[in-house]
Each structure stands twice: as C-alpha cells, then as structure tokens.
Amino acid sequence: MVIRCQVEVLYFAKSAEIAGIRSETISVPREIKSLQLWNEIETRHPGLADIRNQEMKLPLSPPLVEGSVFEPLEKDMNEVEEKSKDIIKFTAKKLSVDEVSQLVTSPLCGAISLFVGTTRNNFEGKKVVSLEYEAYLPMAENEVRKIYGDIRQKWPVKHIAVFHRLGLVPVSEASIIIAVSSAHRAASLEAVSYAIDNLKAKVPIWKKEMYEESSSCWKRNKECFWATSD
C-alpha cells in the first residue's frame, strides 16, 4: 500500500493568476521526487507549463515559529548598543530612508552605507505607472537571514537592515532600502553591494509592472539562481 501525505501548494505572482487560486492541498505519495510533484501540479493547472523553469528547484519552506527573533524596531536608539542588529521588514507602507538609517546608527560606527531602489517610469518604451511586489514571507525572511550571515563572515559590520515594500509602489517611491553600518566605510559599502546583488538573486520576491495603457506584466528576474539563460 502506498503511504500518502497532504501537501500544501502555494501560488504566487503569475502562477497564481494562471491557477486562479492562492493555495490548495493535494494528496501525493510520501516518497515523491520534485519533478513528479511538479507534474501533478501541472496536470491540475496545464497553463503553468508555459512558465516552468528548465531546472527544478523546490527548496523546503522554513517553518513559521511564534516568537520571532527579529530585533524590536522600537528600541531606544539613545542607548549605547553593543549587540549587533539584523533587521528585516516587509511592509505595504511607504519606506523612510531616515527611519532605516536611524535603526543602524551606532556610536561605534563612522559609516552608514545605503542602497535605495526606486520605481522608474519606463521599460522598453512603455510608460510604467507603478510596480506591484509580492513575496513568500517565511522563505524570503529566511533567505535574507542567510545573506546577513554571509555578510558578517566577510566584513566587520555592526548593524544591517533591509526594508522591502509589498503591494503597489508608485513611480519614484522606494521599493527597497538596505542600510549597513560599520566602523569604516569600505566594509559597509561592500556589504550593501553584496546584499542587493544576493537579495535579487536568491530571495523569493516577485514584481509586476503596471503600464499606462492598463496592461501589466510579471517581470522575470534574470539574476535569480533558478532562472535559466535564454
């Protein structure tokens, strides 16, 4: 007798539009390969075949655990802090460079380096009016934590913060702010560059461009490690 289990499948971005649902539970054999699982999903939603990657990568989702270890954002910044902070925030609210800068400020540091990504108003001749961001938060936060760990192994930085917008982001508004503080500028500058490059390559965040003529398109991020070259 084949032992079966229940698997929850989550759909994001273009896959959610094609499937017409955000999630579903399917019954599969307990021992199943990733390709077999994908074939089962594709049987249910044939339209997904058009967006299938050539290379199958189905990482396990990190568990949702109550009692987050994230640093509280309300901590008094007048206090001299010895402990380094790793701050992550995904939000639908407008981002503030001043707020993020304050969170990584330390009397022990002489440099704060920032990257601010904003919505531009054009793409290949089309007028862009806004972007829409979507993320699988448990996995996204886990991947950002891994990037933080890599940064701390490579550079002597003090505090790190990544704030990312979700939902609609109008033209010229910030969609992401990355801030890193360190005793000297070289470490924070290199760490910020590393952070944005790896965030775009590894973190499951999807972006839809909304155009002036009322059309839209989910953008394929060619920097993602699972993307195949054309």
114-127 tens-digit pLDDT: 999 998 888 877 88
On whether 164 is known to bind a ligand per the annotation, the reply is no
Average pLDDT over residues 84-99: 96
Nearest C-alpha neighbor of 59 from the set 149, 139, 134: 139
93 among annotated binding-site residues? no
Whole-number Å distance between alpha carbons of 87 and 100 = 9
Calpha distance 178→31 (Å, rounded): 41
The secondary structure element, H or E, covering residue 150 is helix 137-154
Most confident of 142-146, 202-206, 218-222: 142-146
- Is 45 assigned to a binding site? no
| 222 assigned binding-site residue | no
Predicted pLDDT of residue 181: 98
Spatial separation of the C-alpha atoms in residues 105 and 109, rounded to whole Å: 7
Strand segments, DSSP code E, in the chain are: 4-10, 23-29, 86-91, 111-118, 122-123, 126-135, 157-165, 167-170, 174-182, 205-211, 216-219
- Annotated ligand binding at 200? The verdict is yes
What percent of the chain is modeled with pLDDT above 90?
47
User: pLDDT per residue over 19-68, tens digit each?
Assistant: 888 888 988 888 888 778 888 888 888 888 877 664 445 555 554 433 33
Mean pLDDT of the chain: 83
Who's near 108: CB < 8 A, 6+ residues apart? Answer: 158, 183
**Smallest Cα–Cα separation from 98: which of 110, 112, 84?**
112
Sorted by where each starts, the structural domains of the chain and their CATH numbers stand as 4-51 (3.10.20.30), 86-219 (3.90.1170.40)
The whole-number pLDDT of residue 222 equals 53
What string of DSSP letters covers 111-144?
EEEEEEEE--SEETTEEEEEEEEEE-HHHHHHHH
pLDDT at 107 > cutoff 90: yes
pLDDT band at 80 (very low <50, low <70, confident <90, very high): very low
pLDDT band at 79 (very low <50, low <70, confident <90, very high): very low
pLDDT at 226 over 90: no
202 is in an annotated binding site: no
* Chain-centroid distance, C-alpha 201: 9
pLDDT tier at 16, thresholds 50, 70, 90: confident
In total, the chain counts a number of residues equal to 230
